[in-house]
Amino acid sequence: MGPRKEHRNKETCTASLNAVKDALYVLNGKWKLPLIISLQEGPQRFNEIQKSLGEITPKILSKELKDLELNEFVIRKVFSTTPVTVTYELTPYSESLERVIDELRDWGLKHRERLVKNRRTEAAVAEMSTSL
């Protein structure tokens, strides 16, 4: 994928910038997309989500779930059991992120591969220069 050839004027650049800002505003932080990916397995309780994400604190998880609920990616369901059961699940709207997540995953895999390859190359060059 190379640079786009189309000419961009100030209006299209501004519109593009605003659209990206809007997307990043909704999906900002290191937890929102992993949270969505975690919920792709199906409805989960708070503690299950926290375990699947690992290092997230309950306070941050609660905030992220509320943000995702406000932006219509997650629905919170309360069941009147004793004790009360609360689950979180993805809304149909969350499927609109599928391509974004796929592209980010693919790019992330390629990026990691590139870094590992370059580190190996740098290590080999460093090893060769020390033996000279």
Residue 43 · residue 65 · CB < 8 Å: no
Answer whether residue 72 is part of any domain.
Answer: yes
- Residue 1 inside a domain? The answer is no
| Sheet strand arrangement including 44-45 | 44-45, 85-90, 74-79
pTM of the model: 0.76
Does residue 123 belong to any structural domain of this protein?
A: yes
Computed over its alpha carbons, how large is the radius of gyration of the chain? 21
In a domain, 4, yes or no: no
CATH number for the domain harbouring residue 45:
1.10.10.10
**Per the domain annotation, does 48 fall within a domain?**
yes
- In total, how many domains does the chain have? 1
Instruction: For residue range 18-59, list pLDDT tens digits in order.
Output: 999 999 989 998 999 999 999 999 999 999 999 999 999 999
Q: Encode pLDDT of 57-69 as tens digits.
A: 999 999 999 999 9
Helices (H), ranges, the chain: 10-27, 32-39, 46-53, 58-70, 98-131
Q: Report if residue 11 sits inside a domain.
A: no
